[in-house]
Amino acid sequence: MSTIKHPEEVAALSERLRGKKLAKFARDHRIPGGAAMIYQHMVGKRPISLTTGLAYARALDCALNDLSPRLALEAEEMRRALTGVDLGVRQLSHRDQAYLQLLDGLTESQREEEFRRLWDAKQHNDALISELIKQRA
């Protein structure tokens, strides 16, 4: 029988997920690996990765350190290593961040419909701009 490597993580996650339907939780919060992986984390069969730990922290509205001091340290070390490194990532405005939060609360089909609506509006605006440019020439 194998020894659980991070019993504090198992206990913290199990406590926070007590009474939750794992499949629904996994779907609603897009937890990597789904309900099966959540179960393996809750019983200590698999260690929690940084990506999944961050997903749990967001889904459970808690600090990563509350679930796993090990992962919080890993994240902090990564943050320090990347400080001052240009990753070529575009900084999002507050409006962009708010829009992404709104989209995150929608189902996949609702997001697709919203994207289609915005795309159609952009196409319409582009056509109007093109027409105005032609008229000015």
For the chain, the structural domain boundaries read 7-83, 94-136
Dihedral sign of CA atoms 14, 60, 8, 40 in order: positive
- Determine the average pLDDT of the residues in 49-60: 95
pLDDT of residue 84: 75
pLDDT of residue 73: 94
Dihedral sign of CA atoms 36, 41, 45, 51 in order: positive
Q: Is this model's pTM higher than 0.95 or not?
A: no
pLDDT of residue 94: 87
Residues 6+ apart with CB under 8 A from 14: 42
**What CATH number does domain 7-83 carry, 3.40.50, 1.20.120, 1.10.260, 1.20.1070?**
1.10.260
d(CA 51, CA 28): 16
Residue 79 near residue 40, CB atoms below 8 Å: no
**Confidence tier at 12 by pLDDT (50, 70, 90):** very high
pLDDT of residue 89: 67
